Amino acid sequence: MTDARNAPARFKDLCLDAVDHQALADWWCAALGYVRHGSPDGAEPDPRWPVPIVDPAGAGPLIWVNRVPEPKTVKNRMHLDVSGDPVRLIALGATLLRRPDEDVHWHVLADPEGNEFCVFTPDE
Domain boundaries, the chain: 11-71, 72-124
11-71 sits in which CATH class? alpha beta
The answer to whether residue 123 scores a pLDDT higher than 80 is no
The chain-wide mean pLDDT, for the chain, equals 92
The answer to whether residue 25 scores a pLDDT higher than 60 is yes
What is the total residue count of the chain? 124
Provide the pLDDT for residue 41.
Answer: 76
The answer to whether residue 65 scores a pLDDT higher than 70 is yes
Residue 89, CA distances (Å) to 33, 82, 84, 94, 108 in order:
12, 11, 8, 6, 11
The answer to whether residue 124 scores a pLDDT higher than 60 is no
The answer to whether residue 117 scores a pLDDT higher than 90 is yes
Longest dimension (CA), the chain: 52
Q: Which of 4-18, 53-67, 82-96 has the lowest mean pLDDT?
A: 4-18
The answer to whether residue 30 scores a pLDDT higher than 90 is yes
Pick the CATH number of 72-124 from 3.40.50.2000, 3.30.43.10, 3.10.180.10, 1.10.760.10: 3.10.180.10
Provide the pLDDT for residue 40.
Answer: 72
